[in-house]
Amino acid sequence: MTIINRSIFGRKVAAAVAGGPSARLLVLGHSHVAGQGSGSSGGLIGAALTGFVEKLTTSFARYSLTAQRTGWMGEYNTSIDGTNINTFDTRVGFGVGWASHPSNNVLGGRHIWQPGTTPGKGYLTYQPGFSFNGLNIWYPLSPGLSANVGVYLDNTLYTSLNQNGSSNALVGTNLSIGASRSLLTVKENGGVGPAFWNGVEFIPVTLPNIAITVAGGRGQTSTMFADGSTPWSPLAGLAAFTADLVVLYVMTNDLLTNGLVSAFKRNLWSLAVTSVVRGNCIIVVDPPATGADAFINGTYEVYAESAKSVASQLGCGFADTREIFSRSWDRANADGLMNSAAHPDDTGHAYIADMIAAQAMKFIN
């Protein structure tokens, strides 16, 4: 295919097609982004493997581009209902002592952490399902954190991280590991301070044209996504990730909690500005939900117009899923596109993936 280099993402994809590094796409949002409602279970079990972000691989293939899910940020905010990440995404495992942090809000949910005093400490495990020879990792620095966090590749210690900083900071580090590996594990080895983990992006041995990372915080609102109160808050994490294209999918939970339109627009603007300073951006209008007056009293439409306004002012792509789902949950449900009151089913997720891929192509062609 011929790619005209009109945008940041377009240039990166062109370079990738020519044999260079992958163009990097980050999808930020709530439970839809995390995959909830997709797959045969229609619930949480394995949903992270079947959501619309995973289905982007098929959607981009229609344009003769290879795409692959390569990254995880946060822990999907699985602790919102006590769900273990192992159930939601079987590629990630919590060994003894690892858990979702009870309060820290980061890009993609919450910190994953392991207290240093945990007896018989186990491993945080990522088995991405492909061979990799490089990693981008993110973790915090703060006084009192572990000075010895082991990073293991195929069960062999590769390096150790000192997270005991003199002040608070978010660190992003690239590891070019050379040999092909298939397993990443992390463990606190110092026996004193706790270990913290923000996320990881794997660099596959066989590079896709587009490398996709998920930051899916279940139950989160735009206020939580736009939080910049600490160096590792979501807004700081979004800036640090420096994606070539960011998809912002952040509307539903604001509507379900009767959030102010003015707050939604302000938060969306912060997220979009942070994205376009470094790359390109697509803003999504979420499908309809039921059980909240905001979806039937006109507020949904006002939200959508606010999102369209932000997209227009900042040159973002605009994916309005109402074109597929309609403006009515009853209609979308009757058409077999909804799994629950607020989540698309597997077919709905596939349509969303196609719509986002089509918007992304506007930055390429």
pLDDT digits (tens, 9 = 90+) for 296-338: 999 999 999 999 999 999 999 999 999 999 999 999 999 999 9
Q: How far apart are CA 269 and CA 309, in angstroms?
A: 10
Give the strand pairing for 99-106 and 92-94.
unpaired
Q: How far apart are CA 8 and CA 150, in angstroms?
A: 36
What pLDDT, on a 0 to 100 scale, did the predictor assign at position 365? 78
pLDDT digits (tens, 9 = 90+) for 234-284: 999 999 999 999 999 999 999 999 999 999 999 999 999 999 999 999 999
DSSP assignment, residue 153? E
**Token pair 């949904």: residue:** 300
What pLDDT, on a 0 to 100 scale, did the predictor assign at position 249? 98
1, two tokens: 């295919």
Show the beta-strand stretches assigned E in 142-241.
Answer: 149-153, 156-161, 169-181, 184-188, 195-197, 199-204, 210-216
What pLDDT, on a 0 to 100 scale, did the predictor assign at position 1? 42
Give the strand pairing for 149-153 and 156-161.
antiparallel
**Token pair 């952040």: residue:** 250
Q: How far apart are CA 252 and CA 138, in angstroms?
A: 28
Provide φ and ψ at 114, rounded to 5°: -140, 110
Residue 108 burial (CB count, 10 A): 34
pLDDT digits (tens, 9 = 90+) for 38-66: 988 767 788 999 999 999 999 999 999 99
Q: How far apart are CA 190 and CA 359, in angstroms?
A: 47
Q: What is the mean pLDDT of the chain?
A: 95
Q: Are 148 and 190 in contact (CB under 8 A)?
A: yes
Which residues does 176 contact at the CB level (< 8 Å), separation at least 6? 133, 134
Q: How far apart are CA 34 and CA 215, in angstroms?
A: 7
Query: Following DSSP, what letter does each residue of 233-280 receive, concatenated?
Result: SHHHHHHHH--SEEEEE--HHHHHTT--HHHHHHHHHHHHHHHHTTSE
What pLDDT, on a 0 to 100 scale, did the predictor assign at position 42? 67
Provide φ and ψ at 270, rounded to 5°: -60, -45
Q: How far apart are CA 133 and CA 122, in angstroms?
A: 24
Share of the chain above pLDDT 90, in %: 89
Q: Are 209 and 16 in contact (CB under 8 A)?
A: yes
Nearest to 220, CA basis, from 318, 129, 130, 110: 110
* Sign of the dihedral through C-alpha 105, 107, 109, 113: negative
Residue 100 burial (CB count, 10 A): 23
3-state secondary structure at position 205:
coil
The pLDDT confidence band at residue 79, using thresholds 50, 70 and 90, is confident
Q: Are 294 and 258 in contact (CB under 8 A)?
A: yes
Q: What's the average model confidence in pLDDT over 204-230?
A: 97
pTM over 0.95: yes
pLDDT digits (tens, 9 = 90+) for 1-30: 444 457 999 999 999 999 999 999 999 999
355, two tokens: 């719509």
Q: How far apart are CA 211 and CA 274, in angstroms?
A: 20
What pLDDT, on a 0 to 100 scale, did the predictor assign at position 75? 94
104, two tokens: 């820290």
What pLDDT, on a 0 to 100 scale, did the predictor assign at position 2? 45
pLDDT digits (tens, 9 = 90+) for 127-182: 999 999 999 999 999 999 999 999 999 999 999 999 999 999 999 999 999 899 99
305, two tokens: 């117009």
For residue 229, pLDDT over 90 is answered with yes
